[in-house]
Amino acid sequence: MSDVKKEKRKLKNSIYRYLGEYKKESILGPLFKLLEASFELIVPLVVAAIIDKGIGGSDKGYIVRMSAVMVALGIVGLISAVTAQFFAAKAAVGFSTRLRHELFAHIQKFSFSDIDNVGTSTMITRMTSDINQVQNGVNMVLRLFLRSPFIVFGAMIMAFTIDVKAAFVFVVVIPVLSVVVFAIMAISIPLYKKVQSGLDKVLGITRENLTGARVIRAFNKEQDEIREFDEAHENLTGLQMLVGRITGLMNPLTYIVINVGIIVLIYVGAIRVDSGVITQGEVVALVNYMSQILVELIKLANLIITVTKAVACGNRVQSVMDMQTDMEDGSKSVESLSDSGQYSDVCAVEFEDVGLVYKGASEEALSHITFKANKGDTIGIIGGTGSGKSSIVNMIPRFYDATSGKIKINGNDIKEYSIEELRKSIGIVMQKAVLFKGTIRDNMKWGNENATDEEIWEALDIAQASEFVKGKDKKLDTVVEQGGKNFSGGQRQRLTIARAVVRKPDILILDDSSSALDYATDARLRKAISGMSGDTTVFIVSQRTSSLRHADNIIVMDDGVIVGMGTHDELLKSCDVYKEINASQESGKEAV
């Protein structure tokens, strides 16, 4: 009983459950295919009747009538086939559309840890080519899975209705054909999997080259990359040629078997005709049934190869769908808490002995992080590369969850909040400035979809971006190309800052987001942010001590731990790491 329950649960969680929305199409498609196959099995009998009664009896009227029957069978069969294809295509496309939508929605729930673990390219492959393969497999199954076996066994049964002794040729030929077809499949299917892996490798190299084209050219590595691509491509070509040669044996071997079978069938049929047991037309019908069996077995072999690919791809999609993020969603609203009287009595953000271990890592990225940020404070975070600066701010909107300790906002553990509500109250600007295809206005409304033009211009002023936006002919309607590649690095950073500011968040996080700005622009930006209306708590991650000089509290990180905390002046006296960073930057300015 428990095994039955497990199977039911497994089916319920399977990606193929989405076919349940197309039960009618999934049933009608195969049924119409079986109807078409039934008409196809009748045709040889009609041909036999035409030969025996029409031609043999010189009855032209009978020939015309039976020819009309054949045309009618063809038309009805065509209508059945088209109807079956319609239902099969509707079910397959609808299934893949729903699956792709659900997969995308599922991926949106992943934390940064989950995305890091799976890999971006893997998820893209699962959502595109893998689902397309599954769609193709579902379509082929609905069309041929019942039809091909039905024709094979139906033809054999029809042969027995004509003549038992002659039909024994089918009993021998069908197993021999099956052995040939399925032996070739057994060898070729594993090779097809290797071909798919080789194709993945070629695609991976191509993707790396396209995304890293500038770096490759900068280091003059074109020839090395060409050699690596050629090697992977030659391996793929070799595998494809090998599997092509093996599968290429299918047609000649099956035709040899079927033609030998036809020769034997004609020989046996001639003897049976000569003895008056069967007619000439019935021999022709038997030959037609033999040909139908050949065609359907080859179709069945191709179907099984397609289904094997589809199942393998389906399992890869299923593995992503089965992934459950360990980030549990809360239910409290940040807004409702911020409106309550307790908000002013607690810290806006508080870290209590927080530790963080990334998935797959053996050591902690952060250890014993403890600090408080009051409402309206500006908190600076500085340290060397890999010291854990970004890891701290990424835990505030729950991109990563702390593995130990607690993070509180407005006095409550952030895990108690709804993730959506939590992130609505936070504006964050990542290290890499990302803009989306559309217009400047469209990108600004990512921060606040109800923002007016006046609010957008206000945010652009704060981000020091209004000057170059006003210089554009179309102002806010200026087209932003994919990734914002038609803007400079500094312009992209300022636009992403404006996008975060227009949200008017309770907490604003700037993760090294002014690295492309000159010192004067950076200073104006910090001044504008400090003068923002409301009591926004600001976190600034930076490599520059000048960017954090006026922060209320500066956290100095080194190798995942806090080694200093205080104002700029306090740290210059008490923290060696901060003094070293500041001294190196001051000496750099003097050298310039």
**3-state DSSP of 31-67:** HHHHHHHHHHHHHHHHHHHHHHHHHCCCCHHHHHHHH
Exposed / middle / buried, residue 516 (Cβ in 10 Å: 0-12, 13-18, 19+): middle
Residues 158 and 222 in one domain: yes
DSSP 273: H
Residues 332 and 297 in one domain: no
Residues 358 and 284 in one domain: no
Does a structural domain hold residue 303?
Answer: yes
What is the reported pTM?
0.69
Does a structural domain hold residue 386?
Answer: yes
Does a structural domain hold residue 454?
Answer: no
User: What pLDDT was estimated at residue 79?
Assistant: 92
Does a structural domain hold residue 478?
Answer: no
Residues 410 and 310 in one domain: no
Q: What is the DSSP string of 513-544?
A: TTTTS-HHHHHHHHHHHHT-SS--EEEEE-S-
Three state DSSP letters for 192-237: HHHHHHHHHHHHHHHHHHHHCHHHHHHCCCHHHHHHHHHHHHHHHH
Under a CB-based contact definition with an 8 Å cutoff, are residues 77 and 36 in contact? yes
Residues 7 and 42 in one domain: yes
Separation between Cα atoms, residue 206 and residue 210, nearest integer Å: 6
User: What pLDDT was estimated at residue 55?
Assistant: 82
Domain that holds residue 412: 328-425+550-592
Give pLDDT tens digits for 500-509: 888 888 888 8
Residue 344: pLDDT above 60?
no
Separation between Cα atoms, residue 553 and residue 555, nearest integer Å: 7
Give pLDDT tens digits for 227-283: 989 998 898 898 888 888 887 787 788 788 878 888 888 888 888 888 878 788 888
340: confidence class by pLDDT, cuts 50, 70, 90: very low
Residues 222 and 263 in one domain: yes
Residues 310 and 338 in one domain: no
Please report the sign of the dihedral spanned by the C-alpha atoms of residue 99, residue 102, residue 108, residue 112: negative
Does a structural domain hold residue 407?
Answer: yes
Report the run of H or E that residue 434 belongs to, with start and end: none
Which residues, in sequence order, are bridge partners of residue 350? 372, 408
3-state secondary structure of 324: coil
Does a structural domain hold residue 525?
Answer: no
Domain total for the chain? 2
Residues 124 and 76 in one domain: yes
Last residue of one domain, picked from the residues 321, 356, 375: 321
Which domain CATH number covers 72? 1.20.1560.10
Residues 13 and 100 in one domain: yes
Residues 294 and 399 in one domain: no
Does a structural domain hold residue 515?
Answer: no
Percent of the chain residues past pLDDT 90, beyond the cut: 1
Residues 396 and 315 in one domain: no
Residues 184 and 250 in one domain: yes
